[in-house]
Amino acid sequence: MHIVIMGCGRVGASLARALERRGHSVAVIDIVQDAFRRLGPEFQGKTVKGVGFDRQVLQRAGIERADGFAAVSSGDNSNILAARVVRETFEVHNVVARIYDQNRAEVYERLGIPSVATVRWAADQVLRRLLPSGSEPMWRDPSGSVRLIEVHVHHGWVGRRITDLEAATRARIPFLMRFGSGCVPNATTVFQDGDLAYAAVTNEQVADVEDVLGNPPVEH
């Protein structure tokens, strides 16, 4: 996967290094050249100096081939503007923005843009949104054999019923987050753009579920 990160502060640099350690290509955008020093000498990704919501800057960072975008600069307005430009102009749907103001974060969640408002856990939470595979589960039973995971769902599933997702994965999807509110799906619930899906799976199912939903539906 290719991931573009806007902001090379402590969170952005930590996120970039974590992604690269997992074997992904990374491009980092920041308006301050010296900020890239936080990445360290071992960082092999691309650095782009400029404003993260500028289209040409985004293109230099490889946004047109990006699988995900994280806006983690120090400014709420810049983060949300960049997230909207990336989703609406470049049609990258795997987008997350860090927002310092909790109230504003809830508003943007309702607009369908996932956001992380807590600074302390920002890097871990953004990483989970971008790369659910291998992340810590949201819940695990005492025996350690069953877990609840947040699953990245490919945009190609938008418009399909939740029962179709369950049939394809052979796993239960007990609830969704939609516009910042929980939603328990029924037989007619349709997966919408911006929904966050949570799957109840055994340990053995995790990789298969993430693989199936992380790719477009297979037509038979």
Residue 118 has pLDDT above 60, yes or no: no
Domains of the chain, CATH where assigned: 2-130 (3.40.50.720), 139-213 (3.30.70.1450)
Q: Which residue has the higher pLDDT, 121 or 8?
A: 8
Q: Are 16 and 43 in contact (CB under 8 A)?
A: yes
pTM comes to 0.60
Cβ of 146: how many Cβ atoms within 10 Å? 15
Helix axes 122-130, 10-21, angle to 10 degrees: 40
pLDDT of 89 over the 90 cut: yes
Mean pLDDT of 90-114: 76
What is the predicted pLDDT for the residue at 120? 41
What pLDDT, on a 0 to 100 scale, did the predictor assign at position 217? Answer: 93
Q: Which of 206, 125, 131 is nearest to 170 (CA)?
A: 206
Helix count (H) and strand count (E) of the chain? Answer: 7, 11
From edge to edge, which strands make up the β-sheet containing 146-151? 139-140, 146-151, 196-202, 172-178, 181-183
The confidence score (pLDDT) of residue 207 equals 86
Query: What letter does residue 217 receive in the DSSP assignment?
Result: P
Q: Are 159 and 190 in contact (CB under 8 A)?
A: yes
pLDDT at position 220, please?
A: 63
- Which one has a higher pLDDT value, 128 or 97? 97
Please provide the average confidence, as pLDDT, over all residues in the chain. Answer: 86
| Chain CA centroid to CA 219, Å | 25
pLDDT, tens only, 121-176:
556 566 666 765 544 566 776 666 888 888 889 999 999 999 999 999 999 999 99
